[in-house]
Copies of this chain bind each other. A is one copy, B any other.
Amino acid sequence: MKRRVCVVVTARPSYARIRTALAAIAAHPELELQLVVGASALLDRYGNTVKVIEEEGFRVDRKVFMIVEGENPVTSAKSTGLGLAELSTIFDDLQPHVVVTIADRFETIATAIAAAYLNIPLAHVQGGEITGSIDEKVRHAVTKFADVHFVASRPAAERVVRLGERRDRVFVTGCPSIDLAREALARGPLAADAALRWGGVGARVDLAAPYLVVLQHPVTTEWERARMHVEETLRAVDELGLPTLWFWPNVDSGSDGTARGIRAYRERHAVSNVHFFKNVPPEDFIRLLAGARCIVGNSSVAIRECSWLGVPAVNVGGRQAGRDRGANVIDVAYDHAAILGAIRRWTDGPRPPRGEIYGDGNAGRRMADLLARVPLDFEKRLTFEGEG
């Protein structure tokens, strides 16, 4: 009998980070893919990721709405509760042999707890990383619920083991996002007018000329300052004047603050060099990054994919603090002058070398192979390495 592998995808970035694994699971002769799509991945205003998923050929077994509207700390907690209630019914119905959960979102912990209580072995993608904020707590708590760990890097693997997990259940697969970068690079650059296809509002950007990419998320525990934060970046980009593709932040506490910051700035200033997007297909997004002069903001793609792509990054604020990084990242504070200065260092200087800190582009295949042969159990007992 094939092992039923249930993957829960709940957001655009999670999908980007698991897509090659989904394909490898679906293609594996000993695995059966069960795909659950929920949370912001179902919502129009976060880019209708479920449509992209279906267009890329995956069959969605269950869709589950679970976001309580409000984008504040209370509704984040409530959404976790709703997701947990829904996912437990779904897992009970689908009866997977193993559940896969991704990263450190509220849906991730909801997925983890539902699987744990139903005694379904849990594989966690992307544990052992360090970022601060509520994500940090969620990520390591999910590690404690997980039975199998697919981590992106050696340092992450060491941290997961130090957290008391069995070394023989921790696998450095690399991050599947590098897989996408690898595929994308093989296709060559985007057409100059590719941006037209993705909708959005604002300036037309010619992808043949130098351009910036911006992706800046609100910082959960500082949500009232989200507006101020985004305005610093917007001002830097506005002053620089380089054509810019700006991606709308994901659903999370405070994204309203970010959204309002952007709207407020645009009402006061004629921002003529920026186009705002909600979503683009993940592969296009990587090719877009590959061609960018620089990526600005606080997204993990700047550190992860862009390290492998060799794309320079300006990382703003503390959101990525603690994340292992390569030579392509300059860190700055929420300050438009600092941001502008860092961008100029990259646009005026040489590009950084490419690196493999987050993998070699075969993570998805590795995960599928491991899911087919790793022992699946759900009983754990805390032991630390070196203990009797």
Contact = CB atoms under 8 A, between A and B. Distances in A.
B70 A65 contact: yes
A78 B65 contact: yes
A66 interface: yes
A62 B93 contact: yes
A221 B121 CA distance: 12
Interface of A: 42-45, 62-70, 73-78, 80-89, 92-93, 106, 109-110, 113-114, 116-119, 130, 132-134, 136-138, 140-145, 159, 162-164, 201, 221, 251, 253, 256, 260, 267, 321-322, 378-382, 384
13 contacts: A43-B69, A62-B93, A65-B70, A67-B69, A67-B70, A77-B114, A78-B89, A81-B83, A82-B85, A116-B134, A132-B379, A136-B381, A137-B145
For A43, A78, A106, A138, the residue with the greatest tally of chain B CB atoms inside 10 Å of its CB is A78
A130 B88 CA distance: 26
Nearest to A143: B144
Given A65-B74, A80-B117, A81-B110, 19 more contacts: A43-B69, A65-B68, A65-B78, A67-B68, A67-B70, A69-B251, A74-B88, A74-B117, A74-B118, A81-B81, A81-B86, A82-B82, A82-B85, A109-B113, A140-B164, A141-B144, A162-B384, A163-B382, A322-B382
A388 to B, nearest CB: 13
Contact of A133 (B163, B221, B379): B379
Contacts of A80: 81, 84, 113, 117
Contacts of A83: 81
Contact of A42 (B65, B67, B70, B143): B70
A210 B81 CA distance: 48
For A89, A119, A142, A253, the residue with the greatest tally of chain B CB atoms inside 10 Å of its CB is A89
A378 B70 contact: no
For A86, A134, A159, A256, the residue with the greatest tally of chain B CB atoms inside 10 Å of its CB is A134
A225 to B, nearest CB: 13
B382 A140 contact: yes
Contacts of A145: 137, 141
A325 B21 CA distance: 45
Nearest to A378: B221
Contact of A70 (B43, B76, B81, B322): B43
A140 to B, nearest CB: 4
A300 to B, nearest CB: 16
A77 to B, nearest CB: 4
Nearest to A106: B117
B86 A89 contact: yes
Contacts of A113: 77, 80, 109
B65 A82 contact: no
Contacts of A116: 134, 137-138
Contacts of A92: 63, 73-74
A44 to B, nearest CB: 5
Contact of A164 (B44, B132, B163, B381): B163
A117 B73 contact: yes
A69 B132 CA distance: 27
A30 to B, nearest CB: 26
A126 to B, nearest CB: 14
A239 to B, nearest CB: 24
Give the 6 A-B CB pairs with smallest separation, nearest first.
Answer: A81-B84, A81-B85, A77-B88, A77-B117, A141-B141, A141-B144
A223 to B, nearest CB: 9
